[in-house]
Structure 1
């Protein structure tokens, strides 16, 4: 029997998810895994748990949202001997899980996972702090972690929308900054900066149609809209088409990005969670040490290296 550790937040997820989690050890046993269930009890607990696991663990499943996966991968990068990671979506948004092709049915998702393929996945870093799919800064982006858990449980995705509408009454924050992409230095005033390795953000799919999770690259999107009217117009265009050629947007595909704010910019958001810091300079890089077990469904879309993949 192979050894599997499931890390989950007992406070998150729908009632049906919690019921299915209780049945998970039996389901995994059928698939030849002995399973240990590890509930988290506080923030960053998943990081601690993964970092302290024995080396004989064959698979770590982060059963939760994007933030839980971030914590698990952070803990794995702290290890000398890295473990194979995976995600089982349980949460409100699940951008990463949806990108991989998971459904809303946990039992179906488990079968997709155990029949999946181990892939080398790029992990983006901001000043040596990992993030799985998005680092962003700007007005209103903090709704992902400022929306009360009670509202998320009651209203689901609508809770984020309600909170965003409330925050939208505030002023658009602008950042004067210098940045460098592939050795070319530039400067300007921007309202938002997104550094991503995903085709989906905030519940919106196909923002980029050509992203790969193993190409040693990430996407940078810088928005120069300075008023709410400009932002609304821009958001409408983003939802309707390709972002790379739109006025008001600067797009780069790179693995060499540095940014320096003229003043302390406040917190970034990493994978939906707050990233506090005491600097105004940030360097973005990629770590290539992570392997994940992922469903076969969207592998052709998401990866460049397909040598070990067969749809049979």
Structure 2
């Protein structure tokens, strides 16, 4: 009998997933798995350590029940391994970007688990970001520039109290203080060197809960979508946001560059130390310079397309 391990974070989101652990395990058993569970702890990278352990023990499936951070730990645990279990998602966080992109139900833990019963899986691309001192895998997006701070600026307490609106509140605050950064972005077929307020490298179309910033309809083609936004006035930036909401029309604007690429080398060319961090899957990643590469169809996920 195939084995599945539920790794769940009891503190994610508004509604604790702990109340649905029994239901999720029952769904896994209905799907034909020998099911067991693990509750994450305050110990650093406890979800990552457990994911590595069960992968090496030969488990066939890991179910991530938590927010994007829990999923990030699991992916970073299994991505370097030669043999990797399948992954399913029960979203219990605030933004749940990756689950949103895969059309996994986000307001019902049992319904999310029942996606497994459909048996629909797909090998999806993941990203690998690394420098001389850092290596990190990601499933959704990476980016640089002050706008990306919106995804990790809210504290967990604010996320718990205000939910998704916490991101919006910080987004409005950051718009007032945007400062351009001078970067060199080297991608497959070109180089951008100059000032930018934002660059985003995406594997899916959902970023901080916004679904129309990056048009990335393919999840298994080996390419990132790269979006570069040049410095502009606040009024024009607000217009770009409106165009983005209106079916990705911002991509035709002269202040925006969009290309598809398999790799990206990102270098910071100014001396301003504020905002040096690169945001990876909604969390502070590491500092410039970084090399990103697309690992094509690297992990098999349960999807709901």
> Do they fold alike, i.e. is TM over 0.5?
yes
Match of 1:126 among 125, 129, 132: 129
Q: Could you say which residue in structure 2 is the equivalent of 1:302?
A: none
Deviation at 1:114, TM superposition (A): 3.2
Q: Deviations over 1:190-231 (max 9, x none)?
A: 110100011222222244455211101010000003332332
Match of 2:149 among 138, 142, 149: 142
Match of 2:254 among 242, 247, 251: 247
Q: Distance in 2 between matches of 1:109 and 1:254?
A: 32
Q: Distance in 2 between matches of 1:115 and 1:237?
A: 36
Does residue 96 (structure 1) correspond to residue 106 (structure 2)? The answer is no
Q: Tell me if structure 1 keeps the 8 A contact 2:187–2:261.
A: yes
Per the normalisation by structure 2, the TM-score is 0.88
Alpha-carbon spacing, 1:212–1:33, altered in 2? closer, same or farther (3 Å): same
Match of 1:291 among 260, 275, 299: 299
Matches within 5 A, 1:1-312: 1-15=1-15, 17-42=17-42, 43-53=44-54, 54-103=56-105, 104-127=107-130, 128-169=135-176, 171-209=177-215, 211-242=217-248, 243-263=250-270, 266-277=276-287, 280-288=288-296, 290-295=298-303, 297-298=304-305
Q: Distance in 2 between matches of 1:239 and 1:62?
A: 30
Per the normalisation by structure 1, the TM-score is 0.86
Gaps of at least 5 residues in structure 2 are none
Q: Tell me if structure 1 keeps the 8 A contact 2:201–2:227.
A: yes
Gaps of at least 5 residues in structure 1 are 299-312
Alpha-carbon spacing, 1:32–1:11, altered in 2? closer, same or farther (3 Å): same
Alpha-carbon spacing, 1:273–1:15, altered in 2? closer, same or farther (3 Å): same
Bigger Cα displacement from structure 2, 201-210 vs 77-86: 201-210
Q: Distance in 1 between matches of 2:197 and 2:212?
A: 22
Bigger Cα displacement from structure 2, 160-169 vs 218-227: 160-169
- Secondary structure of 2:10's counterpart equals coil
Q: Deviations over 1:262-312 (max 9, x none)?
A: 1365111111111123xx3222211236332323x31xxxxxxxxxxxxxx
Q: Distance in 2 between matches of 1:293 and 1:179?
A: 30
Alpha-carbon spacing, 1:189–1:36, altered in 2? closer, same or farther (3 Å): same
- Secondary structure of 2:114's counterpart equals helix
Alpha-carbon spacing, 1:36–1:139, altered in 2? closer, same or farther (3 Å): same
